[in-house]
Amino acid sequence: MCGIIGYVGRRTDAGVLVVEGLKRLEYRGYDSWGVACKTEEGIVIRKDVGKISAVNPSDFLQPSSLAMAHTRWATHGGVTPENAHPHVSCDGKVVVVLNGIIENFEELRAELAAKGHRFVSTTDTEVIPHLIEEEMKNEGQRTEDLGQREKENAFPGPRSQVPSPSPDFAAAVRRACLRFEGRFGIVAMHADVPLLVAARTGSPLIVGVAEDGYFIASDTPAFIRSTATVQYLDDGEMVVTDGQSILFSDLRTGEEREKREIAITWSAAESQKGEYEHYMLKEIMEQKQSIARAVNQDIDQIETLARAILDAQGTFLVGCGTAAKACMAAEYFFSVIAGHHVNFAPASEFKLYHRFLKPESLLIAVSQSGETADTLEAMKIAKSKGAKVLAIVNAEGSSIAREADYTLHINAGPERAVASTKALTGQMAVLLLIAYAMIGKLPKGRTRLLETAAAINDMLNPRYTEFIETIAERIQQSSDLYIIGKGWNYPMALESAIKIQEVSYVHAEGFAGGELKHGPIALIEKGTPCIALVGNDEVRTDIVSNAIELKARGGFIIGIAPARNDVFDEWIKVPDVDTAQAIVNIIPIQILAYFLAVKRGKDPDMPRNLAKSVTVK
Ligand code: F6R
């Protein structure tokens, strides 16, 4: 939800740097963009609706050593140039970009309007620069009230090297932030001071430590071409930098915070499209390797966590969207393989489960980005009850990874397409591995998964994708599509619907096969495409019977199964991988969704109305 990048340092092409960096954050939102550069003529701002990918970085060549940029996913206020970030104060000197929501913006806006502030947008963000401006106006009076201590705490480091701003901009940002309610990350700059100031309460902000200066961004791809050394800003912290030194402090108390520099391992190359036209197809194909990487876990750690699940008084699995479907599949893994009951809830619904939680309970939070607001909220609820949290995440250094008591990384590498593909199968692989560890059969689980990875490697050949493309061609004009599954293929039917809906905009719905005759079968007409996800397991005959019921009403049956069946009008063959069947069965659907999007003229990497990282509740 919105991407932010700021740079301050010795380089004089800060405008170009932030535009290039922003292009690598576009997966976080892409309805509008904006750039602010501090130049000799003052702060120059350009913003517009549309995608940052269409903007030429060389349009921002004017000399500048301090700049910031924003790509937006609209929350408050429509998609208009006025609502695009950055937003500025009345005097045009305070400039701010935001990721998140200022929940009490209406009240602050009314208060500021009564003091004469004029607003030009309908966003919540615009109150921020105006309140900072107001705080700067009042600083003389407030400094006396708050005493010398706060002044000293505000930013002692660079103050010795840069002209001391007066009134103190960083202190004004801090005071303003203390009045905001909601989850947000902001970056601010001021026309008279060569500083970047940022604060976080909920939405991610990461500092990139480069040789020539500092970056502050929502995610590491924004600056990975300049540096792989990062410092993480935690909730309730702020940071101030002049490009030479940096000071982290507690937002509330102003107390200085020590930060470690951490080297991240994802290389810039890993997040490029390479030979593929879209990230989505590239990431689908990467499942040839990513499942084996997910399985490559520390054996002792997996065994300890398996024990923790067995010992816990109540294990709850939470996630959102596709990650939630991995959790649902895990319910079946733990039941069928380990005979152990766990509870699944979409993270956004977990609030009402708190009565079941005890200090002996365990929450398993599953997330690709590690920044999903609802999943973080579920973790907060569990922690408030003293329960422990295990995170299964992809993004290194993400909030969920850092806030959990135990973290397992799925090692899928950066996932840039909005539609999650390789992260899902990596999450399921790790959960399946844990299920085997729960019955003391971790080596068997590893072998099963490595064999599955090898089978996927063989399956994902050009002939296979071309065949699925022909099916996409055949059904691309259909307005509705239904997917059925049973057992662990039931959550995959739900996931299939998400994948098809979000990239192709075809109406797709997933059902438990047995539920059809209780209502949904009324929707089937002659020629309606219906996909049956079938395994070679104890429920195979049931789901085949459900497919026969659909065919009897005119359904055009596409079977995704290890073995052909007469009921299938089209058969997409998948390897027979026993307990890992859900992992392979979803892959042809990912390919089908991709080709449906492309054939219908949609951009599968950036579907409308969506963003990759959902940092608002
Ligand atoms: C769909 C999709 C979303 C995410 C969901 C959770 O393809 O990607 O449904 O799965 O927003 O995101 P993470 O996994 O980052 O917590």
How remote is the CA of residue 423 from the centroid of ligand 1, in Å? Answer: 9
Domain-located, residue 338: yes
- pLDDT at position 164 is 44
Amino acid 28: pLDDT: 83
Residue 286 and residue 364 in one domain? yes
The rounded Å distance from CA 398 to ligand 1 centre is: 14
Domain boundary among 438, 460, 482: 460
Question: In this predicted model, what pLDDT tens digit does every residue of 386-427 receive, in sequence order?
Answer: 999 999 999 988 999 999 999 999 999 989 999 999 999 999
d(CA 19, CA 21): 5
Residue that finishes a domain, picked among 430, 460, 490:
460
Ligand 1 pocket mutation pick from 350, 367, 368, 392 by most atoms within 8 angstroms of CB = 368
CATH number of domain containing 206 = 3.60.20.10
| Per-residue pLDDT, 153 | 47
321 within ligand 1 shell (Cβ under 6 A): yes
Confidence of residue 75 (pLDDT cuts 50, 70, 90): confident
Mean pLDDT of 172-199: 95
Same domain, 446 and 490: no
pLDDT tens-digit readout, 145-165: 555 544 544 444 443 344 444
What 8-state DSSP symbol labels residue 87?
E
Q: Does 434 map to a domain?
A: yes
Name the DSSP class of 520.
G
In a domain, 612, yes or no: no
Point out the ligand 1 atom lying closest to the alpha carbon of residue 319. Answer: 16
Number of domains observed in the structure of the chain: 3
Identify the domain boundary among 264, 281, 307.
Answer: 264
Q: What is the mean pLDDT of residues 348-371?
A: 95
Name residue, tokens 């170009």.
Answer: 16
Say yes or no: 228 and 201 in one domain: yes
323 lines ligand 1 (CB under 6 A): yes
Between the CA of 259 and the centroid of ligand 1 the distance, in Å, is 30
Q: Which H or E element spans position 39?
A: strand 32-39
- Indicate whether 526 belongs to any domain: yes
Query: Which residue, judged by its Cα, is nearest atom 8 of ligand 1?
Result: 420
If asked whether residues 340 and 443 sit together in one domain, one would say yes
**Euclidean distance between CA atoms 308 and 390, whole angstroms:** 10
Are 545 and 568 in a shared domain?
yes
* pLDDT (average), residues 295-307: 96
The answer to whether residues 480 and 404 belong to one domain is no
Ligand 1 in reach of 421 Cβ (< 6 A): no
For residue 278, is it within any domain? yes
CATH number of the structural domain spanning residue 278: 3.40.50.10490
Catalytic machinery residues: 2, 612
The per-residue pLDDT for 143 is 56
* Residue 52 Cβ < 6 Å to ligand 1: no
Residue 241 domain flag: yes
Which run of H or of E encompasses 453?
helix 442-459
Atom nearest to 423 CA in ligand 1: 14
- Considering 74-83, 132-141, 498-507, the range whose residues carry the highest mean pLDDT is 498-507
Both tokens assigned to 224: 């990975």
Q: Is residue 572 part of a domain?
A: yes
Structural element, H or E, at residue 142: helix 139-146
Residue 147 pLDDT: 52
DSSP state string for 302-330: HHHHHHHHHHSSSEEEEE-HHHHHHHHHH
For helices 139-146 and 127-137, give the axis angle rounded to 10 degrees.
70
Is 617 contained in some domain?
no
For ligand 1, say whether the CB of 368 is within 6 Å of any of its atoms. yes
Give the mean model confidence (pLDDT) for residues 88-98: 96
One domain, residues 251 and 327 = no
> In this structure, are 542 and 578 located in the same domain?
yes
**Relative to the CA of 322, which ligand 1 atom is closest?**
10
- Please, is 64 exposed, middle or buried when counting C-beta atoms within 10 Å of its C-beta (0-12, 13-18, 19+)? buried
- Domain housing 435: 273-460
Is 559 found in the same domain as 417? no
Whether residues 128 and 229 share a domain: the answer is: yes
Please spell the DSSP secondary structure of 358-374, one letter per residue: -TT-EEEEEESSS--HH
pLDDT at 167: 64
Residue 468 has pLDDT above 60, yes or no: yes
pLDDT digits 0-9 by tens, 254-276: 999 999 999 987 665 456 788 99
- Ligand 1 contact via 322 beta carbon (within 6 Å): yes
pLDDT value, residue 337: 97
Does 319 share its domain with 256? Answer: no
Cβ(416)–Cβ(605) below 8 Å: yes
CA distance 591 to 468: 7
Residues 525 and 430 in one domain: no
State which amino acid sits at residue 574: V
